Structure 1
Amino acid sequence: MRLIFMGTPDFAVPSLHALRDAGHEIVAVYTQPARPAGRGKALRPSPVQVAAEALNIPVHTPERVKRDIREHEIFAAFQADAAIVAAYGLILPPAMLNAPRLGCLNVHASLLPRWRGASPIQSAILAGDAQSGVSIMQMEEGLDTGPVLAEAAVDIAPDETASTLHDKLATLGASLLAETLNAPLRATPQPKDGVTYAERLTRESGRIDWSRSAVEIDRQIRGLTPWPGAFTELNGVVWKIGGAQIVPSETKPLPGETLDDALTVACGEQALRLTRVQRPGKAMMEGDAFLRGQSVAKGTRFGG
């Protein structure tokens, strides 16, 4: 097929390569513009732009597309059979959704209609879902409401993080996309039952409330790794928590209070032993290694 590819982060890169490897003609790649990054705030192109340039595919980086009629005209002039969208990050107007012969197809990281919206990977872990997956969807104006052409599921492991699940779904989405385009396209409307929405995450999403259960906080830590990251405070200093282990607790201390000198912290139900921690200006460390350089006494209270 003659395709336009639209994506921005790492998640989209395997799909771009899968299309190229399958022999499709990619006439243009759309991605968000380079953004300031790192300590020097130098402009850094998106992972998709880097991948596209390595493949010698023309790259377009409009700041906005929703109301830019000139961009609509440029997009339509490619006369594509379809546009493939994978975490592009900009809302496409009807003029662009309807321009390709077969419309726009989206690689979405959930089993629709569960987890429509901005953070489907993280939301699946936060909610304790047993499975996640990828849906190839025909795009329309609604938020991830279009009919589904194909889907594939994966189990969520007990120690799954958003990072590991992201990588699994990126690879799965790429292979599913290639398979879908290699067969007649048949879309099935999404069921009306089971619709959930994944909220846009902020840094504050990572703040730990120790009055919640250890199970919930463990999901928060895993679901928000690597970004925005779960965190708590001790004496006004922010600690980022990169891993924890649920442990039973028969005592009833205050939530956030350490039960020993091994970083075991009381929760609303049970407790968590912090296995990976990071203080400002330091690297993430294993809990045991951290405690060899600094002690945290029993009875210390986090978040209080």
Structure 2
Amino acid sequence: MRLAFMGSPDFAVPALRALHGAGHDIAAVYCQPPRPAGRGQAVRPSPVHAAAAALGLAVRTPARLRRDAATQAAFAALDLDAAVVAAYGLILPEAMLAAPKRGCLNIHASLLPRWRGAAPIQAAILAGDAETGITIMQMDAGLDTGPMLLREAVPITAQTTAAGLHDVLAEIGARLVLRALAEAPAPAPQPAEGATYAPKLTREDGRIDWTRDAAALDRRIRALNPWPGTFTTLDGEVLKILAAAPAEGSAAPGTVLDDGLLVAAGSGALRLTRVQAPGRAALDAAAFLRGRRIAPGTRLG
């Protein structure tokens, strides 16, 4: 088929490569414009932009789509069979949704209608869901409200992190969108009940509130790994928490309970197993404590 691909982050790269590898004619790849990134703030293309360039595909990076008649007309002029959208980052106006003969298919990282919105992977872990998955959806003018074409579920375990779940779901999405294009399954409306929304995350979402129970804090650390990451403060400095595990313990929230970074929560305690101090490498707790003793009774946060 003659396709456009619309995506920006790492999550979308496996789908782009799968569509190209399957022999589809990808007329154009749409990505977010290159932006400053990293410590040096050098301007970098998005992961999809870099992957598309490596495949020799034409890349377009409009800063906006709405109220941009020229961009909309250029998209329509591609004469597409379909467009595949995966975490693109811009909302498609109705004129673009209607331009391809088979419309626009979205690879969404949840079991819709649960966790519509910007951060479905993290939201599912934060909420303690037993499973999540991929939904291939026929896009409409709403926010992740279109009819469903295919779904596949995966379990969320007590060890699941957003980083690991992201990679699993990205590969499933690539496989399912190939099926959706080949099989043209009948669209099914999303259930009227059970819709939830996963808002965009901010850096502040990663601040640990020690008054919460240990199980919720464990989910937050796993859900926000790698971004925005979770952190507390120690002696006025930020201490990143990269991994932890719920444990038994009781004291005022945020109190260090032993010599091994066991910290009291609102209910139970959290054993910090991997941390990172400002300007330092990430370390397992034992290695971190060899260079910096944190006495029992110290308060974090």
Match of 2:273 in 1: 275
Hey, what's the Cα distance between the residues in 2 that align with 1:254 and 1:185? Answer: 55
Match of 2:48 in 1: 48
Match of 2:128 in 1: 128
Code of the residue aligned with 1:167 in structure 2: it is D
Match of 1:78 in 2: 78
Shift of 1:185: 3.3
Match of 1:109 in 2: 109
TM-score, L = length of structure 2: 0.99
Deviations 1:130-185 (A, max 9, x none): 10100000111111000000010111121111100000000110011111111023
Code of the residue aligned with 2:188 in structure 1: it is T
8 Å contact from structure 2 (residues 211, 266) kept in 1 = yes
Match of 1:34 in 2: 34
Match of 1:151 in 2: 151
Shift of 1:248: 1.2
Match of 1:218 in 2: 218
Hey, what's the Cα distance between the residues in 2 that align with 1:13 and 1:72? Answer: 24
Shift of 1:37: 1.1
Within a 5 Å distance, the mapping from 1:160-171 to structure 2 comes to 160-171=160-171
Shift of 1:22: 1.5
2:20 maps to 1:13: no
Code of the residue aligned with 2:44 in structure 1: it is R
Shift of 1:42: 1.1
For structure 2, which runs of at least 5 residues remain unmatched after alignment?
A: none
Hey, what's the Cα distance between the residues in 2 that align with 1:33 and 1:159? Answer: 35
Match of 2:190 in 1: 190
Hey, what's the Cα distance between the residues in 2 that align with 1:104 and 1:236? Answer: 49
Hey, what's the Cα distance between the residues in 1 that align with 2:199 and 2:71? Answer: 29
Hey, what's the Cα distance between the residues in 1 that align with 2:184 and 2:146? Answer: 18
Match of 1:265 in 2: 263
Hey, what's the Cα distance between the residues in 1 that align with 2:82 and 2:181? Answer: 10
8 Å contact from structure 2 (residues 150, 185) kept in 1 = no
Shift of 1:95: 0.8
TM-score, L = length of structure 1: 0.98
Hey, what's the Cα distance between the residues in 1 that align with 2:130 and 2:30? Answer: 34
Hey, what's the Cα distance between the residues in 2 that align with 1:34 and 1:79? Answer: 26
Deviations 1:59-79 (A, max 9, x none): 000111111000000000000
Match of 1:64 in 2: 64
Secondary structure, counterpart of 1:182 in structure 2: helix
Hey, what's the Cα distance between the residues in 1 that align with 2:65 and 2:292? Answer: 52
Q: Percent identity?
A: 60
Hey, what's the Cα distance between the residues in 2 that align with 1:240 and 1:184? Answer: 46
Hey, what's the Cα distance between the residues in 1 that align with 2:186 and 2:163? Answer: 32
Secondary structure, counterpart of 1:4 in structure 2: strand
Hey, what's the Cα distance between the residues in 2 that align with 1:85 and 1:214? Answer: 37
Shift of 1:268: 0.8
Deviations 1:277-297 (A, max 9, x none): 111111211111101111000
Secondary structure, counterpart of 2:183 in structure 1: coil
Match of 1:284 in 2: 282
- Over 4 Å off, 4+ runs: none
Shift of 1:40: 1.7
Code of the residue aligned with 1:272 in structure 2: it is L
For structure 1, which runs of at least 5 residues remain unmatched after alignment?
A: none
Secondary structure, counterpart of 1:295 in structure 2: coil
Hey, what's the Cα distance between the residues in 2 that align with 1:164 and 1:62? Answer: 31
Deviations 1:191-217 (A, max 9, x none): 011100001100000111101000000
2:28 maps to 1:24: no
RMSD: 0.8
Secondary structure, counterpart of 1:177 in structure 2: helix
Hey, what's the Cα distance between the residues in 1 that align with 2:155 and 2:61? Answer: 36
